[in-house]
Amino acid sequence: MLARVQSYLMLGVDALPCEVEIDVDDTQLDKQTVVGLPDAAVKESIQRVRSALTNSGYSPAGGNVLINLAPADVKKEGPSYDLPIAVGLLVVCGVLDTSPVKTRRSKSTIKPGVRASQAATGVALGPDHEPINEPLDLREFLIAGELALDGRLRPVKGVIAMAALAKSRGLRGVIVPRDNAAEAAVVPGIDAVGCATLAEVVGLVRGELPYEPHPPLDIESMLATASTEVDFGDVRGQEAVKRAIVVAAAGAHNILMLGPAGTGKSMMAKAFPGVLPPLVASEAIEITRIYSAAGMLPAGVGLVTARPVRTPHHTASAAAIIGGGVVPRPGEVSLAHRGVLFLDELAEFPRGVLETLRQPLEDQQVTIARSHSAPRFPADFMLVAAMNPTPKGDMPKGDAGRREMDKYLAKLSGPLIDRIDVHIEAPAVPFKQLSGQSGPRGTDSAAMRAQVLAARQRQSARQGPATPNARLSARKLDTLAPMTEEARSVLGQAITELGLSARAYDKIRRVARTIADLEGVDVLQVAHVAEAVQYRLLDRKV
């Protein structure tokens, strides 16, 4: 007998349809085979499924069992196929029907001992196992979930992409583990049905349990209540750095902070998302989709509501930063999508790892090519980097100290520095400021955010919300960033005397455009260009 159950497979952060086909020949000896490029976790699923079926009160099919995961030329990984395989075996055994006739059954095929186990898991059945709802048509649902040996369902990866796939195919909904239901409910227009056990899935499909999809999430309310942990008001001093951060956040510019150890660089990087515009629904769903595909979404959490801050250690490999693996997974640049990638001790990262950042910084996406596929991962992040001026962590003194600093800074390549718009020095904070004896705390996140939002609104009105100043092309800068003759003269002098590259020339114009937006000015003035030039601190050292 042949059974078909619809599921999904992950390719990057996208879900593709996967049909689980099960054929049982009970005239042959017992044997179970899984085909369709399964990995080890998928091959082992048949043992988990048989144990879960037995412990849930069902008799596994005997004979030669062949399980095919189609399409057969795409690699399958993970335990998400446990539940569709189990459902397919139950269809073969006659417990479930892929196209049920919507009539009431008088008796259930569930074994008598199952009622106690279902009661223990909080599952309530109708009287005498009779249907209380119409049976579900399995052809209208995508199904996924990992099975424990006792029949419990554990969460799986990529459910939000699975729900989006179900919607695109015009299906009714998805049947997933209960911990994944909130995640699936993010996608409007489909039913996100969460179950705790295999027996609950059977009761639901047979109409013996109430059909209660997870209620849709109120995304706007969830985003409105999001907050950040660190406030810039907790950072004593560093007003010049805070100004540079406002400029960087207002135009989506990458920033590098250079200063001795203990000056608050790491703290300011963690507070950085608090001055960025709040997430909109589409951005939150994008981020959630990435974290779901990576298996990093906490159980029961349906939506990422705050901009991510990723802080990889300087020993991280290129694959960890960019993404990779036999079946490609998102790296730190993708996990920081729509948020901040903070690289502390930038010069301690291997040079080869840093060079891999050049392409994502330009293209805002990463393509990981493999022989069987080339998935693309989004990587639209802001790079916030920090480093000490010397390996010792202190400011250099004398000629020997300056030579040591120059040698340390030489670990960073010129092309990488060119891609960082704002370079700012974070000096040591005097004791009076640290102890609060020199006046008020200083600029806080709320005040900085207000400036950033005002500048972003000007940019949106001028060039659209999808193109911040940091993304303006050279041709658009010629039109959208006009400057006075005096400002043009100052810029030309800086390019000549500092030996800046053509890329740095455009970076200065973009940053100056942002500074002018913060002041509500359309034409770039000398002060705007001069401040932008000052933010090219490392161009004269690398």
Average pLDDT over residues 217-239: 83
134-184 residue pLDDT tens? 899 999 999 999 999 999 999 999 999 999 999 999 999 999 999 999 999
pLDDT at 106 over 50: no
Confirm whether 213 is domain-assigned: no
* Three-state secondary-structure class, residue 361: helix
Identify the CA nearest to 200 among candidates 159, 160, 147, 161: 147
pLDDT at 251 over 90: yes
My answer on whether 436 and 482 are in the same domain is no
My answer on whether 192 and 248 are in the same domain is no
What is the pLDDT, as a whole number, of residue 59?
A: 86
Asked if 389 and 405 count as a contact pair (C-beta separation under 8 A), the reply is yes
pLDDT above 70 covers a percentage of the chain that reads 91
**Domain that residue 505 falls in:** 472-542
What is the pLDDT, as a whole number, of residue 233?
A: 85
What is the pLDDT, as a whole number, of residue 369?
A: 79
pLDDT at 105 over 70: no
My answer on whether 461 and 493 are in the same domain is no
The number of domains in the chain is: 3
* Three-state secondary-structure class, residue 477: helix
My answer on whether 18 and 120 are in the same domain is yes
Confirm whether 211 is domain-assigned: no
Average pLDDT over residues 358-372: 86
pLDDT at 440 over 70: no
184-196 residue pLDDT tens? 999 999 999 999 9
462-511 residue pLDDT tens? 998 889 999 999 999 999 999 999 999 999 998 888 887 777 889 999 99
Asked if 327 and 75 count as a contact pair (C-beta separation under 8 A), the reply is yes
pLDDT at 325 over 70: yes
Domain limit, last residue, from 447, 467, 487: 467
Average pLDDT, the chain: 87
pLDDT at 541 over 70: no
Which one has a higher pLDDT value, 291 or 375? Answer: 291
What is the pLDDT, as a whole number, of residue 117?
A: 42
First-to-last C-alpha distance (Å) of the chain: 70
Confirm whether 214 is domain-assigned: no
44's tokens:
């082992």
CA angle 284–287–288, rounded 5-degree value: 85
My answer on whether 293 and 373 are in the same domain is yes
Identify the CA nearest to 451 among candidates 521, 510, 518: 518
Which one has a higher pLDDT value, 281 or 109? Answer: 281
Asked if 41 and 69 count as a contact pair (C-beta separation under 8 A), the reply is no
CA dist 467 and 479 (Å) reads 15
pLDDT band at 128 (very low <50, low <70, confident <90, very high): very low
In degrees and rounded to multiples of 5, residue 154 shows phi and psi of: -105, 150
What is the pLDDT, as a whole number, of residue 65?
A: 93
My answer on whether 126 and 50 are in the same domain is yes
CATH number at residue 7: 3.30.230.10
pLDDT band at 125 (very low <50, low <70, confident <90, very high): very low
pLDDT band at 402 (very low <50, low <70, confident <90, very high): confident
CA dist 1 and 497 (Å) reads 80
CA dist 228 and 46 (Å) reads 45
Asked if 375 and 75 count as a contact pair (C-beta separation under 8 A), the reply is no
Confirm whether 217 is domain-assigned: no
CA dist 526 and 517 (Å) reads 14
Confirm whether 97 is domain-assigned: yes
Confirm whether 216 is domain-assigned: no
In 12-79 the beta strands, taken as DSSP E runs, fall at: 14-25, 31-35, 64-70
Strands 141-143 and 173-177: parallel
My answer on whether 348 and 484 are in the same domain is no
Lowest mean pLDDT segment, chosen from 66-75, 324-333, 338-347, 473-482 = 324-333
282's tokens:
């589409």
What is the pLDDT, as a whole number, of residue 530?
A: 95
My answer on whether 523 and 463 are in the same domain is no
Domain limit, last residue, from 162, 177, 205: 205
Q: 8 has which bridge partners? A: 17
What is the pLDDT, as a whole number, of residue 367?
A: 87
3-36 residue pLDDT tens? 999 999 998 899 999 999 999 988 788 888 999 9
My answer on whether 440 and 527 are in the same domain is no
- Phi/psi region, residue 101 (left: phi>0; alpha: psi -120 to 50; beta: rest), is beta
Domain limit, last residue, from 177, 205, 233: 205
My answer on whether 360 and 438 are in the same domain is yes
What is the pLDDT, as a whole number, of residue 439?
A: 56
Lowest mean pLDDT segment, chosen from 85-94, 106-115, 223-232 = 106-115
Confirm whether 212 is domain-assigned: no
Asked if 22 and 89 count as a contact pair (C-beta separation under 8 A), the reply is yes
pLDDT at 284 over 60: yes
My answer on whether 182 and 303 are in the same domain is no
pLDDT band at 377 (very low <50, low <70, confident <90, very high): very high
Confirm whether 383 is domain-assigned: yes
243's tokens:
């100004």
pLDDT above 90 covers a percentage of the chain that reads 61
pLDDT at 413 over 50: yes
My answer on whether 407 and 378 are in the same domain is yes
